[in-house]
């Protein structure tokens, strides 16, 4: 019997990717999708790529189908999700939230980084951080899943084996994320217009970007002690994809790094280790070779001269960085194989 799911906030880029993936998921049936802007309109008005594939119409709420729902995916802006999540959790409906509202474990930290009081602090302890490669066991019992941000996903996946094996010797870890335009969402602004966005390589939120808190929280848990992160995102002239480039002190040899990464990601279907010095098209991770897929590519290099380690993380920000990872975490919580509906290979060329 299919698991009945709904999507709240289905007209954005992430909502569209959720609908694309879930529409071909063999274990689920989409019974409702909401959008205030497109209320009453067919899904293909917001997502022309889904014409003929998703035949639902947008509704303002999921109330008409609430009694049928088993799980809900919430793709609302930060600060909005926490307003609606309790309605579902109180009814026993599982929730996968793709905003930042339940990622941080401290209400005080949320206020510091997001500039508002958390409305549902009692739910923070119940939420499981939805990065399956780190929290696979916890997700098996989850009913509220906080899907990670796209930048933290790339950074954490690339750094986790080194941190957990104590291969990073001093901090802070410096992370630069090269981010495609879809990472900013669908809302328009002057900086997202074609004339201003094309050809750009623009650093923003250079210090104290709010994703810093998420990366520090999870790296500190892996390390067993507090870790500091200097995180800076840079907008680049791509539509999709993220590449994180991280630097940290350390003297581990490449052979040690290979061993740590192979062991950490053994059996993990969606993380690929890329360090191919004979490669013609790809020697280190490049998001170009992940587009349209739920794969994340990670890699590393050792700079013995400076006792420096370099780490790479590449993924499609809308799939492994958002909708695909949310479905992967849901699969585990629902008792399905984590790869169900997600084994499409990346597009090439793209």
Domain that holds residue 275: 151-317
Report pLDDT digits (tens) over 331-350.
Answer: 999 999 999 999 999 999 98
The catalytically annotated residue of 124, 150, 318, 334 is 150
What pLDDT, on a 0 to 100 scale, did the predictor assign at position 10?
Answer: 97
Give me the pLDDT at residue 243, please: 98
- Report the predicted TM-score, pTM, of the whole model to 2 decimal places: 0.96
Tally of domains in the chain: 2
Sign (positive or negative) of CA dihedral 260, 261, 265, 266: negative
- Chain-centre distance for alpha carbon 241: 11
pLDDT reading at 194 higher than 80: no
Residues 214 and 252 in one domain: yes
Residue 122 DSSP SS3? helix
Instruction: Answer yes or no: do 137 and 236 share one domain.
Output: no
90 CB contacts (<8 Å, ≥6 apart)? none
Output the CA–CA distances (angstroms, integers) from residue 101 to 93, 117, 133, 296, in the order listed. Answer: 18, 11, 21, 24
Is 196 contained in some domain? Answer: yes
Query: Is 219 a known active-site residue?
Result: no
Over its C-alpha atoms, the chain yields an Rg (Å, rounded) of: 20
Flag whether 344 is in a domain: no
Residues 192 and 275 in one domain: yes
Same domain, 238 and 137: no
- The model's pLDDT over 85-107, given as tens digits with 9 standing for 90+, comes to 999 999 999 999 999 999 999 99
Are 163 and 311 in the same domain?
A: yes
User: What pLDDT band is residue 273 in, cutting at 50, 70 and 90?
Assistant: very high
């Amino acid at each position: 019997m299919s698991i009945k799911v709904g999507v709240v906030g289905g007209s954005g880029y992430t909502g569209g990717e959720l609908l694309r993936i879930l529409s071909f998921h063999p274990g689920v049936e989409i019974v409702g999708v909401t959008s205030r802007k497109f209320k009453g309109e067919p899904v293909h008005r917001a997502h022309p790529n889904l014409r003929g594939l998703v035949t639902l119409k947008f509704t303002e709420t999921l109330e008409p189908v609430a009694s049928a729902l088993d799980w809900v995916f919430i793709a609302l802006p930060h600060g909005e999700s926490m307003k609606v999540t309790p309605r579902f959790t109180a009814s026993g409906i599982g929730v996968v939230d793709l905003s930042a509202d339940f990622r941080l474990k401290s209400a005080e930290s949320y206020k510091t980084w997001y500039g508002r009081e958390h409305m549902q602090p009692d739910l923070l302890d119940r939420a499981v951080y939805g990065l399956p490669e780190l929290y696979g066991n916890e997700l098996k019992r989850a009913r509220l899943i906080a899907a990670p941000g796209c930048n933290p996903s790339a950074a954490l996946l690339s750094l986790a084996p080194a941190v957990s094996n104590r291969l990073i010797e001093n901090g802070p870890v410096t992370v630069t994320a090269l981010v495609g335009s879809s990472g900013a969402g669908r809302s328009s602004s002057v900086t997202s217009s074609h004339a201003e966005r094309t050809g750009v390589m623009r650093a923003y939120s250079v210090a104290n970007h709010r994703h810093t808190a998420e990366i520090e929280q999870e790296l500190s848990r892996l390390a067993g002690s507090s870790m500091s992160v200097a995180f800076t995102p840079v907008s680049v002239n791509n539509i999709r994809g993220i590449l994180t480039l991280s630097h940290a002190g350390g003297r581990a040899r490449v052979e040690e790094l290979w061993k740590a990464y192979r062991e950490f990601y053994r059996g993990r279907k969606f993380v690929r280790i890329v360090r191919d010095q004979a490669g013609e098209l790809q020697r280190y991770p490049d998001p170009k070779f992940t587009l349209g897929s739920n794969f994340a590519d990670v890699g590393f290099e050792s700079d013995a001269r400076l006792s420096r380690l370099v780490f790479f993380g590449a993924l499609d920000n809308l799939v492994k960085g958002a909708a695909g990872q949310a479905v992967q975490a849901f699969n585990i919580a629902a008792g399905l194989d984590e790869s169900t509906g997600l084994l499409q290979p990346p597009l090439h060329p793209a």
